[in-house]
Amino acid sequence: MLTLFHAPGTCSLASLIILHEVGVEHDVHLVNTMAGGTRTPEYLAINPKGRVPALKTERGILTETPAILLYLAQIAPQAGLAPLADPFALAELQAFNSYLASTVHVAHAHRPRGSRWADEESSLEDMKRRVPGNMTECFNLIETGMFKGPWVMGETYTIADPYLYTVGSWLAGDGVDIAAFPRVHDHFKRMGQREAVKKALGTPA
Ligand SMILES: N[C@@H](CCC(=O)N[C@@H](CS)C(=O)NCC(=O)O)C(=O)O
């Protein structure tokens, strides 16, 4: 049985959506990130990085969203959520997810999690001011250069789709109107109609 350590509103939503997409049996263990739930000795024993998501599997714990998403696609190949037999297409997919994890997520985190990088109030405020501009720059690139349509990687729905949906859901809080990116906006609305997304969002907080 898989167990996802999840906090609503965070990047772990992407993994939860894919768990529902593949229909694999799983438990969800809610972590209250706002109340320090990632810093308890119990949780640090699960993920010493002190972050969600973490996925408990029969072979051990997996962390990092791109790794968890690809693992789920691999254990459920019948769901067709990644081009597992095509090295180039799979690398392109991983490049997209890596961009979300290493650049877009980090650009967003400078608003709610600036204290990871600075202590001075003026530094934190300075970082927050940069967030709308940096997120706009990232999403302009996705809109015009990376998003193939109608799904992220083209004709086939993949593990990149719930991840883009998850990161896109942070834009409003970051002071950016998603409507400024019409293709991403259309994708966001279509994602919201999927049963797997409705189920994932319905997980009690
Ligand atoms: N690189 C990690 C980032 C994980 C991460 O930053 N998770 C955030 C939520 S989006 C978290 O756990 N924040 C709570 C905390 O820092 O205590 C991934 O992609 O999974």
31-81 per-position pLDDT tens digit = 999 999 999 999 999 999 999 999 999 999 999 999 999 999 999 999 999
115-162 per-position pLDDT tens digit = 999 999 999 999 999 999 999 999 999 999 999 999 999 999 999 999
Within this chain, do residues 110 and 179 fall inside the same structural domain, yes or no? yes
Comparing CA positions, the residue from 51, 9, 25 lying closest to residue 205 is: 9
Collapse the DSSP code of 61 into the 3-class scheme (helix H, G, I; strand E, B; otherwise coil) and give the result.
strand
31 lines ligand 1 (CB under 6 A): no
Is residue 111 assigned to a domain?
A: yes
176 lines ligand 1 (CB under 6 A): no
Domain of residue 33, CATH code? 3.40.30.10
Within this chain, do residues 185 and 92 fall inside the same structural domain, yes or no? yes
Within this chain, do residues 70 and 144 fall inside the same structural domain, yes or no? no
The range of the structural domain enclosing residue 53 comes to 2-80
- Residue minimizing CA distance to atom 2 of ligand 1: 64
Within this chain, do residues 16 and 64 fall inside the same structural domain, yes or no? yes
Supply the pLDDT for residue 205: 63
Supply the pLDDT for residue 96: 98
* Residue ending a domain, choose from 53, 80, 107: 80
Supply the pLDDT for residue 113: 95
Supply the pLDDT for residue 186: 98
To the question of pTM greater than 0.95 for the whole model, the response is: yes
CB neighbourhood size of 170 (10 A): 22
CA distance from start to end of the chain: 22
113 CA distance to ligand 1 middle (Å): 10
166 lines ligand 1 (CB under 6 A): no
CB neighbourhood size of 154 (10 A): 14
Please say if the pLDDT value at position 190 is more than 90.
Answer: yes
